[in-house]
Amino acid sequence: MKRESQYLVARRGVLQAGAGLLFAAALPPLPAWSVSPDHYRIAAAPARARLAGPDRPETDVWTYNGTVPGTLVRLRQGEPTRLLVENRLDQETTVHWHGIRLPNAMDGVPGLTQPPIRPGESFVYEFTPQDAGTFWYHPHANSLEQLGRGLAGALIVEEREPMAVDRDLLWFLADWRLTEEGGIAPRFGNRMEAAMSGRVGNTVTLNGRASEAEYFRTGERVRLRLVNASLARIMALRFEGHSPVTVAIDGQPCDPHEPAGGRLLLGPAMRIDVVLDMQGEPGKRYAVIDDFYDGLAYRLTELAYEERPPLRTHPLDASLDLPRNPLPEPDLATADRHGLTLQGGMMSAMMMRGGVMQGAGMMHGMMGMGGGAAWAINGMSMTGDGHAGMEPALTFQRGRSVVLKLRNETAWWHPMHFHGHSLRVLSRNGKPVPHRQWQDTVLVAPKEVVEAAFVADNPGDWMLHCHVMDHQMAGLMTVLRVD
Amino acid sequence: MNRTIRFVSLTAFIALAGPAVAEPLQATLYKNPQCGCCEGYAAYLRDNGFNVEVKPTNDLAEISREAGVPEGMQGCHTTFIDGYVIDGHVPVNVVRKLLTERPPIAGITLPGMPMGSPGMSGTKTEKFVIYTVPKDGKAPSVYAEE
């Protein structure tokens, strides 16, 4: 099936002679728009997509190269790449290569790192990915609407030595707010929502469509790359009858481990790579449930087993360890320590002080922050998507180790994304975080305190913001400078 | 307490509570699944004799909009009682006034989440202004002040 093969990242026929026959489809050809594996052309343009199912109307979407999700960008670790982005929208855009440690000028933040790409114009992004893993790309201009209308795609940087699995699969998950007629509900940036959990939608797609089932064969081992490309929806995934093993988070390999309670907590913009040994019975189906929101659990898809004899009788005993990426290890003994306090939102003193929440003028003129600010970091609200002249909240000397203490004073969850670096997550509420977890998007629970460390080795002004897009737009954003 | 008195007081209780038990008003409250104060408001309505069904939803903004509540005047949860929308932490005496007067409007709203309002923590620091939610695209007007 063509649809499936597109999200088959790679198949490793080396494991067993039979493995190569698993699916009749050949490896996907390179996307039409890619000139070569290291040279992509990506056009941001309107298109139509059937998101909600075959019996539902098509939806007008904005896409990268005409598909939802956009063209799968596959790069090789340590090899230079060139990505030409063409803007065929009627508004400015940029592309942020989420999680890639790259030069500041390639980071895609309008005003701060590059001029926005105007309609009809293009921009060439050039960088050499240092880290292998699962990443993604999306706009950083009018982000709430552009991402909410579909502009997003996966970016996979291949390891030099592939992992021993039968299939390497991508589940690119996105959340849409669709109207009865099948359109994308307008009215982005509802102020009440911006101060609560953001624009959570009503339709979740897996690789661009609502999924009834995904097909597997008993005995196979798959690497499943989960990407949460939602504007605001946090997911907690359970695989009935299966025990996924987390092998990488946000593209960075960790010690392989089963997640607490068998539940994969995946905030907006996060990625988790799991290895699944498919030990279900041929012909049977197992639900994949997202039960993050109380009382609103739903079935994301089903693991459907083909009626075929098992590929092998015992699970593979190949290693689940991925090779480490070349991340500099922070020196905690000498690190500079800084605090970033997340403030605001509904049920906070900031929102209710002085009656700012009352009447039609609510959230305006709060603390002199200009229209629409509902959130702040250390008392400062930067709103929007990024612009020139944003003063850094903190400045780090290049090469220094830094420990950031993220203190969430709010009553809401925040996936905090730091550009240009990966953060070693040290502790949550004082409790050490196991499994050597590095993340570029750290999900912080209400009232939680997270400590994370990194080496400030990438010079430039870097965004740090919440990836619930409404929260970013409404002030949960700041800039950190590496001199 | 002897057996007879106990019986009598129980009867008295039933008699007094009778009308409420016989005809409790049904309220359906839509709330953000992660917002805590809305449960406080549901409890407040229950304490005041309403039968409350709480429905968590991620579509609150759309539900509120479709009910006619203008953006910028939305409360943090949306309740439907007896054909009216009641948005936000509206005090129960204003709800009762609405249900008694039955004006030709879609409902009423107390925008935001003012401190000290029913279901909210804190002390009331200022007047609660409850606005009408008009049916016909007219501008909202003040319905009650508390």
Backbone dihedral angles phi then psi of residue A430, each to the nearest 5 degrees: 85, -10
For A313, the token pair is 């009788």
Claim to verify: residue A151 and residue A196 sit in the same structural domain: no
For B113, the token pair is 């989440």
Q: Which of B29, B31, B34, B41 to mutate to test the interface with A (most CBs of A within 10 A)?
A: B34
Tell me if B41 is assigned to some domain: yes
Whether the complex's predicted ipTM surpasses the cut of 0.90: no
Q: What is the pLDDT of residue A292?
A: 97
d(CA A71, CA A58): 19
Claim to verify: residue A355 and residue A466 sit in the same structural domain: yes
Chain A CB contacts of B125 under 8 Å are 355
Tell me if B139 is assigned to some domain: yes
CATH number for the domain that contains residue A409: 2.60.40.420
Test A201 with B58 for CB contact under 8 angstroms: yes
How many domains does chain A fold into?
A: 3
How many domains does chain B fold into?
A: 1
Q: Which of B58, B59, B125 to mutate to test the interface with A (most CBs of A within 10 A)?
A: B58
CA distance B11 to chain A (A): 39
Claim to verify: residue A259 and residue A374 sit in the same structural domain: no
Point out the residue among A201, A352, A362 whose CB comes nearest to the CB of B72.
A362
Claim to verify: residue A342 and residue A447 sit in the same structural domain: yes
Q: What is the mean pLDDT of chain A?
A: 90
pTM beyond 0.95: no
Tell me if B135 is assigned to some domain: yes
CA distance B38 to chain A (A): 11
Tell me if B57 is assigned to some domain: yes
d(CA A163, CA A222): 10
Tell me if A248 is assigned to some domain: yes
Tell me if B85 is assigned to some domain: yes
Residue labelled with tokens 């639900």: A287
Test A197 with B115 for CB contact under 8 angstroms: no
Looking at residue B141, its amino acid is S
Chain A CB contacts of B72 under 8 Å are 191, 360-362
Among A305, A325, A344, identify where a domain stops: A305
Structural domain of A199: 191-305
Question: pLDDT band at B20, cuts 50/70/90?
Answer: very low
Q: Considering chain B, what percentage of its residues have pLDDT values greater than 90?
A: 58
d(CA A168, CA A224): 6
Claim to verify: residue A218 and residue A367 sit in the same structural domain: no
Point out the residue among B59, B65, B114 whose CB comes nearest to the CB of A355.
B114
> Among the residues of chain B, which ranges form H helices?
3-22, 37-47, 60-66, 92-101
Q: Residues A374, A412: contact at Cβ < 8 Å?
A: no
CATH number for the domain that contains residue B91: 3.40.30.10
Structural domain of B79: 25-145
Chain B CB contacts of A296 under 8 Å are 33, 56-58
Test B33 with A295 for CB contact under 8 angstroms: yes
Claim to verify: residue A348 and residue A436 sit in the same structural domain: yes
Claim to verify: residue A356 and residue A434 sit in the same structural domain: yes
Cis amide prior to B24 (ω within 30 degrees): no
In this prediction, the residues of chain A whose per-residue pLDDT falls under 70 are 1-6, 10-38, 350-372
pLDDT digits (tens, 9 = 90+) for A24-70: 333 344 444 455 666 899 999 999 999 998 889 999 999 999 999 99
pLDDT digits (tens, 9 = 90+) for A424-462: 999 999 999 999 999 999 999 999 999 999 999 999 999
Claim to verify: residue A165 and residue A286 sit in the same structural domain: no
Of the candidates A235, A359, A361, the one whose C-alpha atom is nearest the C-alpha of residue A297 is A235
Q: What is the pLDDT of residue A28?
A: 43
Tell me if A293 is assigned to some domain: yes
Question: How many A/B residue pairs have CB atoms within 8 Å?
Answer: 93
Tell me if B3 is assigned to some domain: no
Claim to verify: residue A350 and residue A460 sit in the same structural domain: yes
Claim to verify: residue A156 and residue A286 sit in the same structural domain: no
Of the candidates A131, A35, A47, the one whose C-alpha atom is nearest the C-alpha of residue A83 is A35
Claim to verify: residue A244 and residue A372 sit in the same structural domain: no
By three-state DSSP, how is residue A431 classified?
strand
Q: What is the pLDDT of residue A351?
A: 67
Cα torsion A170, A175, A179, A180: sign = positive
Tell me if A448 is assigned to some domain: yes
Q: What is the pLDDT of residue A37?
A: 61
Claim to verify: residue A277 and residue A353 sit in the same structural domain: no
Q: Which of A176, A190, A192 to mutate to test the interface with B (most CBs of B within 10 A)?
A: A192
Of the candidates A467, A469, A387, A465, the one whose C-alpha atom is nearest the C-alpha of residue A145 is A469
The β-bridge relationship of strands A401-408 and A449-455 is antiparallel
pLDDT digits (tens, 9 = 90+) for A232-266: 999 999 999 999 999 999 999 999 999 999 999 99
If you average pLDDT over residues B34-59, what whole number do you get? 93
Tell me if B17 is assigned to some domain: no
Of the candidates B86, B123, B122, B93, the one whose C-alpha atom is nearest the C-alpha of residue B107 is B86
By three-state DSSP, how is residue A136 classified?
strand
Residue labelled with tokens 């500099």: A328
Test B76 with A202 for CB contact under 8 angstroms: no
Backbone dihedral angles phi then psi of residue A411, each to the nearest 5 degrees: -95, 15
